[in-house]
Amino acid sequence: MNPEASHVHPDHVAEVRDNIRRLREDRDLHALSRMWARAVAPYKYAYNFTWMGRPIVQVPQDVMALQELIFKVEPRVIVETGIAHGGSLVFHASMLSLLGGDRLAIGVDREIRPHNRTALEAHPMRERFALVEGSSTDPAIVQQVYDLVDGRGPVLVVLDSDHTHEHVLAELRAYAPLVGAGSYLVVLDTLVSDLPEELYAGKRWSRTSNPRSAVTEFLRECPRFSIDEDVDAKLLISVGPGGYLRATEDP
């Protein structure tokens, strides 16, 4: 049984639910949060944090949200696409280590640069994660991930690689079957659609081709997933607004 349900006083749970309800209704506060996100984006705010010595390239609010989901779902496996310096992969591995048992984080990246691979291979969390190099939408790579999952569940998936509509939609279609009822498929950098175009000049993604547009199309295709709006409401500041997708049914 997940300890969260048994160790928190009911009065506190009720208070938090009411806080989140009121936050969801405060449109001005949501607008202010979007303004803040746009204001700090030129400073690469998310780049400024580490987890256990590795750059995590996430805003702290999303790290807290992922920690809560991991404790809630108690996944046997976490699949992450787009690992960059590896901080988020180490984060997932460390959370799974705290849960104990036979659990594994799988990190997929088109290119794991040698200096990052060297640091990750030497990291104390190394036994808790597997590295897969190649495009996350390549059928051979997808199969490699499925082989590592090996039918174990629950599985939690975090998508944070190429941010184009086509790539993210292909990832969603490829990895959604791993996620069962009650677990999450998290799509990060949906914030791209809210940011000025000049912030990603020269990139393949844009205001019209990005993770959020992919999520919109995917939810029409796969109604067993829905946006967990409570996560958005309580975070306010996130690189993944509308990207925390909860599975309401098994595949």
pLDDT, one tens digit per residue, over 127-174 is 999 999 999 999 999 999 999 999 999 999 999 999 899 999 999 999
Q: What DSSP assignment string belongs to 69-127?
A: HHHHH--SEEEEE--TTSHHHHHHHHHHHHH-SS-EEEEEES---HHHHHHHHTSTTGG
% of the chain beyond a pLDDT of 70: 95
Residues 77-133: tens digit of each pLDDT = 999 999 999 999 999 999 999 999 999 999 999 999 999 999 999 999 999 999 999
CATH of range 3-247; options 3.40.50.150, 3.40.640.10, 3.50.50.60, 2.40.33.10: 3.40.50.150
Give the position of tokens 């060297």: 118
Give which of 52, 27, 36, 65 is closest to 245, Cα–Cα.
65
How deeply is 153 buried, as exposed, middle or buried, from its count of CB atoms within 10 A (0-12, 13-18, 19+)? middle
Give which of 187, 182, 162, 194 is closest to 172, Cα–Cα.
187
Residue 206 pLDDT greater than 80, yes or no? no
Residue type at 188?
L
- pTM: predicted TM-score of the whole model, two decimal places: 0.94
Residue 3 pLDDT greater than 60, yes or no? no
C-alpha Rg value of the chain to the nearest Å = 18
Give the position of tokens 């639910």: 17
Residue 194 pLDDT greater than 90, yes or no? no
pLDDT, mean of residues 221-247: 96
How deeply is 53 buried, as exposed, middle or buried, from its count of CB atoms within 10 A (0-12, 13-18, 19+)? exposed
DSSP H helices, the chain, are: 3-7, 10-25, 27-40, 60-73, 87-99, 114-121, 139-149, 165-175, 211-221, 229-235
